[in-house]
Amino acid sequence: MKKILVVDDNEMLCRLACDILHTEGYHAVPATSAAEALEAFEREHFDLLVTNFGMPGMTGLELARAVRDRRPQCPVIVMTTFEPMECEHVTLWLPKEYLFPGLVEKIRHCLSAPGVGELAR
């Protein structure tokens, strides 16, 4: 079962998203801050990172960079209410208005496409 780390400071959304991903057959682990996410990444292996863009403290982009420094192959999906921007550490952007089913489709795409983590590099 593929393991996904979902990071959002909105705890309700974070847990709901994990619950939905679980019904889709993924092992999704919630983290409500970038610091918590980095700790989880140090502790265990994840196949993919899903993170919110705007978070207090470390933003989603800074988290993506930190994760890619440790695991350059790890695909990163960033959820945002803003316009997507160019960033070498982000595999895919996802507008929050269309989070579902978009997130499920994008995760499926990221985990099935070989080397998709390299696309943005």
Binding site for another protein (CB under 8 A): 10-13, 15-20, 23, 79, 81, 96-101
Length of the chain: 121
Identity of the residue, 12 or 115, whose beta carbon is nearer to another protein in the bound complex: 12
Task: Please calculate the CA angle 34-38-42 and round it to the nearest 5 degrees.
Answer: 170
- Contact residues for 1 (Cβ-Cβ < 8 A; gap 6+): 25, 26, 27
Toward another protein, which CB reaches closer, 7 or 18?
18
**Rounded to the nearest 5°, which phi and psi values hold at 93?**
-105, 150
Minimum distance of another protein from residue 89's CB (angstroms): 22
In whole angstroms, what is the distance from residue 84 CA to residue 62 CA?
15
* Shortest separation between residue 1's beta carbon and another protein, angstroms: 12
Nearer to another protein, 86 or 97 (CB): 97
Check residue 63 and give left, alpha or beta (phi > 0: left; psi -120 to 50: alpha): alpha
Q: How far is the CB of 14 from another protein (least distance, A)?
A: 9
Nearer to another protein, 24 or 62 (CB): 24
The nearest distance, CB 5 to another protein, in angstroms, is 16
